[in-house]
Structure 1
Amino acid sequence: MGVKRFEDLLVWQKSQDFAVNIYRNFTLQKDYSFKDQISRASVSISNNIAEGFDRRTNPDFIRFLYIAMSSNSEVRSMLYLSERLEYLSSENVKKLIDQSNEISRMIYGLIQSMK
């Protein structure tokens, strides 16, 4: 039996958790443009998984999964920058990057399974 709803996808669930963690880590950030950009990119991951899933064709879903992966890469890049700017501790950045890398592997695996 296949997945019937995007909410049942573990990668979507983990992407939602990741966005919540990003929001929580940057809540007090005074660099509002940075906070806005990383927050929007983190939300884009799960949103693109959901939108692609509901397109109901594998090629469309795969295209949106690649967009989700790109948003995830954007967040990861900004996390490295946040460490250099001393917005977050190295320990927090490492935890978030590990979470991001896990999501990337899951998205890539899903793409490969659909080809």
Structure 2
Amino acid sequence: MYREILANNLLPSVRALKMGRGWVFQHDNDPKHTARATKEWLRKKHLKVLEWPSQSPDLNPIENLWRELKVCIAQRQPRNLKDLEKSFTRGPVEQRSDPYCDRVVFSAAR
């Protein structure tokens, strides 16, 4: 499935953007990214891949937002889908202001 997503989206996007060969693909160590079949597919397509650790907030600021979302949801303890949806309309998601986004981005280690 992941390879299909790459084939149907990554390669056409690269062509549409006329990126040529001077780009590097980045994904983390999620199991679908590191599967032998995925690595082989990327190798056969001659794609350069930047190795990237999974769940590393020092390198990937979005991990800080995911952590805040998990805490927010755990505190609210939703009992059903409607409660869960409310969790996403309050708290960190609602705070998507520029200063909040700046804090998330600048939380990455320099």
Q: TM-score under structure 1 normalisation?
A: 0.28
- Computing the radius of gyration over CA atoms, which structure comes out larger, 1 or 2? 2
Bigger proportion of residues as helix: 1
Return the structure number with greater relative CO, CA threshold 8 A, min gap 6.
Answer: 1
